[in-house]
Structure 1
Amino acid sequence: MSAELPVSAPARLRSLLAGTADNALKIVHRGPHAVYVALPSADNRCVGVLGSAATAVPCGLRLATPTVGPLTGERAEVRAGVLHVDGVALPVRRVVDATVPAMPRVLDGGDPLRGIDATVAGELTALRLDPQHLDRVLGHGGGLTPLGDDVICGWLAQHRSLGVATPWADDVVRIARTRTTTLSATLLECAFHGEVIPEFAAWVAAHETDEPARAAELASVGHSSGAGLLYGARAALLHLSRKAAA
């Protein structure tokens, strides 16, 4: 009998794994706090195994320990709908909610860059975000999740929180599988379905007096990922407020 580490996960991820045929999987990233493996599909999707010190991305299985412990990411496979890493089974024992909440405050058409670190703000400005052509920033920036992709995730998730369809932007998710990293393409697909990290959900749910603190917490996630999410969400609010005023 193999060793077992119970995990928690969003319901959609649990269902995705349950429907995945037995297969050996490719490791796409490994570190002390997270291991990511690619799923056997043409959609360029992956699933993470996350210590509690890692960002709780909606495509991740969450451990109760800060690190991934003995899971070095040498090998991975799916067996009977359960992910195994280095011979350790990771069954989903608890479902967590990764759904973006409805925003309780009025549309905010203010500066999307407010409170964001000046260096990151310069990188965001250089992207020259165009609401009608989000694909132009797809894959722009370095890292596992390029900054342009973080912005698009924030944009899509903000629209989902308001129940606003994005027919002009949804094709970005489809083309991402060949235009960006595996993790980033997966997170874009999650944002399309309205699934977000806890810091983003907390910012969306915050009332006006709490918004600055929740915004600072979101902007501090990762090197620039949280700032990109915040900027994308605020840019969406600005775009929608301008449309409402027109």
Structure 2
Amino acid sequence: MTKRIRLGILTPSSNTSLEPLSQAIVAQLPNVSVHFSRFTVLKISLEEDALQQFQNEAILEAARLLADANVDIIGWSGTSSGWLGFSTDEELCGNIAAETGIPATTSVLALNKALKVLSATELGLVTPYMDNVQEAIIKTYQTIGVDCGKERHLQLSKNSSFADVAERTLDEMVADLASRQVQVISTFCTNLRAAQRVEYWEKAHNVTVLDTVSTVIWNMLLMCEVDPSAVQGWGRLFELRG
């Protein structure tokens, strides 16, 4: 009998994109289910109240609720370590494992793992964020030798508004970066409705696109020893091995 795998995903409270996208991604995997727990996130900025949303205790409380469901792994489907520093995600994963006994990963750590597999040193960023948040992400990626100088962003800060960004807007942003011969592109925000467009962009522009809703699921599957290549139609990412 094939073991049932339960993926537990931590979700920003105002996010309305990642849950339906995550469910759709794993729909082809009959023995995999995905389960969610929320904590408060209302805006993305470098203001103190916005930064406080990502303090570990609130996230750990959401992780404890997922542990009640006996999930096999916990993933933070969010990009906060892009501006807070990758060490915040590493610390969070360690704290989740210590608190619940369940291994953990994040969208950004998984993205970085995929970049390493691809030997990529350049990442084009597509985000909805404000100037200073985008600049912080670029600086964070410099710490691991990845150039994010080719980028587009939309100057938004209200998290719930990110889900309203139209596909045609994302199409134009991705096409612009692809025209600049960027090595890899990331739609770097889990409340963008972008993952479903990845295969189209890759075929249209011949560039690998790593969406942050998809990256965390890809790495969770790998960590649970589930072959991600069974996920078809969601981009080249799922063909990669860590």
TM-score (norm 1): 0.27
Which protein is richer in helix relative to its size?
2
Higher-Rg structure is: 1
